[in-house]
Every structure is written in structure tokens, then in C-alpha cells.
Amino acid sequence: MKNRITRRCSGFTLMETLLAVALVSILVSIFLTVFVPARGLVQKALTRQDAERVTSILRAEMGTIRPHERAGARDTSSSDGSYLTPFDKGFYWLQRSRRPSTSIVIFSYRADTSKQPRADGTFPPIPAGKSAPGGASQLVSIACPMNDRLHKDDIRDAVGPVFIVKMTQLIDQHNGEYKLAASPGTITGGTKPEEYFSNPEDKANPWGGAVFYRADFYLMSPPNPARYGNRSWARMGRPLFSANMSFHR
């Protein structure tokens, strides 16, 4: 009669399992303690970089009159889309913030430099997912009204995020303090650029006057202007970041 050998399957005891769980918990805690703050610092750094880049684009564009925006030689005053001075452009652009659908957007796109430039000197975009022949392209950053006739269709080919800007005037209280205007897109002190003076004494100086404002930057998601036709600022949520800015005569 042969002897029957019985083998017992080895496994972890309850104590060993508890020790393993405790060890994993300690490692996860160490990981979260080190990684999460580091990730937060990276996100803050990226946000600061984005804020500086986007505000620089807005400031530069509001200080520049493109060829198709320049008022005629016989014009004595500016109108929306036709400007005598960069101050006039800023004046009308701020008023576009009455609603999101007409406000200023900031984005980048890859331009096809093999094509002829458009009326404002920019090249048309390369459609998303395609490339220019011979690699003739450059990355262009631009600020323009959302309903701009030249660039509204460029938004769909944007590279990276698209930002919507809400501008609200900061009204000088003449005591070193400023307060926000009651609503975005309104300017107190004059209905036209040539009528606006931040201080009464500036009227004696044709180059005097400045408009201070707070710019709130929202992420345009999805990047489709048609989705913002009836949207209000209240439905936009909280801005990604804000900056106090100004434009001067």
C-alpha cells in the first residue's frame, strides 16, 4: 500500500496581508505628499506663463491699428472697426464686452505662409490635421472680436486654448481707489473716444486720458463661436485668471 502525501497550499496569513496593506498605504501617502504639491506648483507656473502670454497679446493688439482697421484720411472721428488712434481702438473694443458673442478672443493658429496675406497682413490658417506644402508655416497669436469677419473662422483651426476676454472698466474715485463699473462693456466719462477724459483737467491736453479696466479671461470650450450667440456672462462661470490693464492716449 503506497503512502499518500498531502500537500498544503501556501498563502498569506491575515497578519501578512494587513502588513502589506499598511505598507502600500504608507507608500501612497508618501507619493501624494510629494507629487500633488509638485503638480500644483507646475500648474500654477503654467497658469502664470499663460496669463503673461495672453495679456501681452491683448496689450499689443490693442496698441496696434492693422491696415484694414485704419480710418480714412478724411475721417475726423473713429467708429467701431475704423480707428484714428490705438486709444480709440481700445475704447470700442472694451465696449464689445457687453456680451460674450461680440467680445475679444485670443488664440494661436498655424498660418500657411505659402498663401497670399489677407487684408490685415496675416496669413490664412492651415486646416486642422493638415500641413503646408514644404513646411511653409508659422505659429501666429492674435486677439480679435469673436465675430470678426476675417478671423472668426480661424478659431476652429486654433492650436491650443482659445480665451474669451471680458473687460470691465475700473472707475477712478480720485482718492487712490478704483471701483468696477456696474456692467462689462460700459465706459463712464464719455460716449465717444474724443469725449472721454479720466480727469477734467485732461481736457486741456488732447493726448491726456487713460482707461483702466479689469480683464477676465475665460476658456472658450468648445471653440465654436456659434455656441455663444445667446450666452450671457453669468453662464460663463468663473474666469481662469484676471488682470488689471489700461490703455492711454
HSE at residue 43, side-chain half, CA atoms within 13 A, is: 8
Q: Residue 147: how many CB atoms within 10 A of its CB? A: 15
- Taking only the tens of pLDDT, the chain with its 249 residues reads 555 555 555 566 766 666 766 677 676 666 555 555 544 443 454 467 778 899 999 999 999 999 889 999 899 899 999 999 999 999 999 999 999 999 999 999 999 988 899 888 889 998 876 766 666 788 899 999 999 988 888 998 998 899 999 999 999 887 888 999 999 999 987 778 887 876 666 666 656 678 999 999 999 988 889 899 889 999 999 999 999 999 988
Question: Which grid coordinates are listed for 145?
Answer: 472680436
The one-letter code for the residue type at 101 is S
Instruction: Find out whether 58 and 104 touch, Cβ atoms under 8 Å.
Output: yes
Residue 13 vs residues 8, 25, 227: alpha-carbon distances, Å: 14, 19, 60
Strand, helix or coil at 109?
Answer: strand
Per-domain boundaries in the chain = 62-248
Strand, helix or coil at 120?
Answer: coil
Instruction: Find out whether 127 and 81 touch, Cβ atoms under 8 Å.
Output: no
Longest dimension (CA), the chain: 123
In whole angstroms, what is the distance from residue 7 CA to residue 9 CA? Answer: 7
